[in-house]
Structure 1
Amino acid sequence: ALLSLTELQLPLSYCLVFGALISPTDPIAVLGILKSAGAPHSVELVISGESLFNDGVSVVLFSLIVAMIASGEAPSVIGASYLLLKEAGGGALLGSCVGYITYRMLKSIDSYQEEVLITLAAVLGAYALATQFHVSGPLAMVVMGLIVGNQGRSHAMSEQTEKNLDMFWELIDEILNAVLFVLIGLEVVLIQFSNPLLTTGLLVILLTLLSRLLTVGVPIAVLGKRFRLPEGAWSVMTWGGLRGGISVALALSLPSGAARDIVVSLTYLVVVFSILIQGMSIGKLVKRVIPCAATKDEG
């Protein structure tokens, strides 16, 4: 319906692809802002947890839709359910196995150099296995990260190891994000931003925020007290759903063509708005809607 208003031509299948790839959020940047703004730990925990599983499921759906486009035919309900179960369930199972093995290896030694290398080998090896077995690599990484990040930190890592491990993976994250944005910058140089494309981008940004409000903001507003969240948490969760590296990477992975160029352009517009507008204003929003955050900041 939006495309008909702006005279932009994009197949329905690529609209579904865009919906899947724009769903993942990037909690890294917003968590840093929330900490500096004095947001309660419960809000940070919900944002990071929601992002972890949201990212994994979104990547699985993206893969299924792209496979459907490549095959040229829509799978049956049973076939799609089987693929989803195989991708998601297989990824979770693989992540559990590799995560437990990694945890046992970390527990057996106390040398942060070797432990950093073990986690690196686990990530690369598990993702290679996921690709080989045709299961979800991102979900495997999520589950493995939960095991190593919780059990590993509590029972298998010294304070020095935790510090060095965090520094290493934060650096890797920054480098990969920088590479992604350089790549999309090079792509965007080749794309001509027409008025219909810019208009569609604006409408997509509004639609993305609305969908975030309905799927995250409203449930948090209704159930927030059960999770011990402050009253204004729903607005922070809605506005704090920043899009970033994962959306960019998925968009760039699409096969070449006119539809891909449109999807990449729309992704670029949403991500830029997310980082510049939402990212720069989320701190002020936290201090405004969560009283304890403002109190901490004043103190």
Structure 2
Amino acid sequence: MNAYFALTILICLSAAFAYVNQRFLKLPFVIGLFLLSTVLSLVVISSRLWIDIPIEDIKDYIEHANIDKIVLNVLLGFLLFAGAMHTNWTNLKQQIRPIATFALGGVLLSTVIIAFLFSGLTSLFDLNIDFIYCLVFGALISPTDPIAVLGILTKANVPKKTEYTIVGESLFNDGVGVVVFIVLIETLNTGTFSLSHFGFLFLQEAVGGIIMGLIFGYILYLLLKSIDHYETEILLTLAFVMGGYGLFNFIHISGALAMVVMGLMVGNFRQKLSMSDTTQEYIHKFWELVDVVLNAILFIMIAFVLVVIDFQTKYIFIGVISVFIVLLSRIVIVYLPHLAIPRLLKLTNKEAKIISWGGLRGGLSLALALSLPNGETKNIILVATYFCVLFSIIIQGLTIEKLAKQP
């Protein structure tokens, strides 16, 4: 099966599921697609019981489709740029303290909490997993996914102040989580852990990504300002996203953070000077369409991961308990600063509750889990990650609006 045929299948499924969702289910877009794709995956898995289809061939193709590389090396850059470009910086700036607290300190603390609890959990089932892998699981599952958050919260009628906090956090902690994951994987490959080396790599990836995002964003602003031709200006944004994201990742600078910063600049920095009204309209509509199409492809692909997961009984128990571990860590990182330093975040109890429950996980966590070296440890982490993502998107995504409406 070639790449074009695979893409054709994904687009056809996306269109079919989107129609079924809009016509009958009327769920939020990403939830509807993920739910229907999960049902299709379950049908494929169970089909061996009632029909003769080449299930092993399907499983083998999905295993070798490099879903992790497609998400991390291609889709993520587009989706982060599009999400950031449509985000109002003025609104984010008003919540900068809780955003910074959760996106940086929250991810690091959550990684450690989850690692210790996950290590204890796997020991209970007599599974010997190196602690570094427990940290890796903590790093990949701690960030809230901006793709899931942006696709669900904006439709859930969450109070605007709370929405800005969760969206801003998800845009930045995504990059921080990827950086921590990359540094831990490098540590795993070298076999030695040095706090100073970890700190240096973290600063190189994170600070370097922010700086390069500012530089490339400003260069793009100058180029857009120098012409008034919306077709060319759309091509420029496309070139900067594709070329910049690939370049930054190649030189070990966080492409994710760079895309967030660059997207915020294009959508907010002197937009009236850099683009005419016509250009603004076309660029925003173009990237909104890109966002919708790629979101559809992403959530169908990650649901298909279900087909290749090795569901042993003890793995399932670990997956279910991992959901509660992740929820507990989320509560700790939100309520710890909220109760200890209330003036820092200035959140009400209701806002803290919504932010805790609104920390959705999504395709990024699964892509990172899929990128791990093959083996039993990867299978365990992949099952735990899938359960967390499934619970997050279906249960949390469908109930966040009801929680927001509570007094």
- Is the 1:24–1:51 Cα contact (8 Å) retained in structure 2? yes
Task: Indicate yes or no: 2:227 matched with 1:100.
Answer: no
Separation in structure 2 between the aligned mates of residue 158 and residue 251 of structure 1, nearest angstrom = 43
Of residues 139-148 and 49-58 in structure 1, the stretch that sits farther from structure 2 once superposed is: 139-148
Task: Indicate yes or no: 2:384 matched with 1:275.
Answer: no
Cα offsets for 1:13-46 (capped at 9, x unmatched): 2211111111221245445554444433221211
- Is the 1:216–1:237 Cα contact (8 Å) retained in structure 2? yes
Separation in structure 2 between the aligned mates of residue 28 and residue 184 of structure 1, nearest angstrom = 13
Unaligned runs of 5+ in 2: 1-119
Task: Indicate yes or no: 2:305 matched with 1:206.
Answer: no
Cα offsets for 1:33-90 (capped at 9, x unmatched): 544444332212111211122111110000011111222x123222222111211222
Q: Write the mapping of 1:46-61 to structure 2, written as runs, cut at 5 A.
A: 46-61=165-180
Offset of residue 263 of structure 1? 1.8
Task: Indicate yes or no: 2:287 matched with 1:169.
Answer: yes
Offset of residue 202 of structure 1? 1.5
- Is the 1:33–1:283 Cα contact (8 Å) retained in structure 2? no
Indicate how the Cα distance of structure 1 residues 224 and 149 shifts in structure 2: closer, same or farther if over 3 A, else same. farther
Offset of residue 214 of structure 1? 1.2
Separation in structure 2 between the aligned mates of residue 89 and residue 30 of structure 1, nearest angstrom = 24
Which of residues 46, 60, 68 in structure 1 aligns to 2:187? 68
Of residues 125-134 and 185-194 in structure 1, the stretch that sits farther from structure 2 once superposed is: 185-194
- Is the 2:369–2:381 Cα contact (8 Å) retained in structure 1? yes
RMSD: 2.5
- Is the 1:21–1:59 Cα contact (8 Å) retained in structure 2? yes
Offset of residue 154 of structure 1? 5.0
Separation in structure 1 between the aligned mates of residue 168 and residue 338 of structure 2, nearest angstrom = 13
Separation in structure 1 between the aligned mates of residue 273 and residue 160 of structure 2, nearest angstrom = 22
Separation in structure 1 between the aligned mates of residue 123 and residue 280 of structure 2, nearest angstrom = 52
Offset of residue 225 of structure 1? 7.0
Of residues 107-116 and 241-250 in structure 1, the stretch that sits farther from structure 2 once superposed is: 107-116
Offset of residue 6 of structure 1? 3.0
Task: Indicate yes or no: 2:138 matched with 1:19.
Answer: yes
Letter of the aligned partner of 1:59 in structure 2?
V
Offset of residue 229 of structure 1? 5.1
Residue of structure 2 equivalent to 1:241:
359
Letter of the aligned partner of 1:261 in structure 2?
N
Separation in structure 1 between the aligned mates of residue 331 and residue 189 of structure 2, nearest angstrom = 33
**Count of residue correspondences:** 288
> Could you tell me the TM-score, scaled by structure 1's length?
0.86
Of residues 269-278 and 136-145 in structure 1, the stretch that sits farther from structure 2 once superposed is: 136-145
> Could you tell me the TM-score, scaled by structure 2's length?
0.64
Identity score, percent? 48
Of residues 153-162 and 73-82 in structure 1, the stretch that sits farther from structure 2 once superposed is: 153-162
Residue of structure 1 equivalent to 2:159:
40
Which of residues 79, 85, 91 in structure 1 aligns to 2:197? 79
- Is the 1:20–1:62 Cα contact (8 Å) retained in structure 2? yes
Separation in structure 1 between the aligned mates of residue 362 and residue 163 of structure 2, nearest angstrom = 18
- Is the 2:148–2:361 Cα contact (8 Å) retained in structure 1? no
Separation in structure 2 between the aligned mates of residue 205 and residue 279 of structure 1, nearest angstrom = 14
Of residues 96-105 and 254-263 in structure 1, the stretch that sits farther from structure 2 once superposed is: 254-263
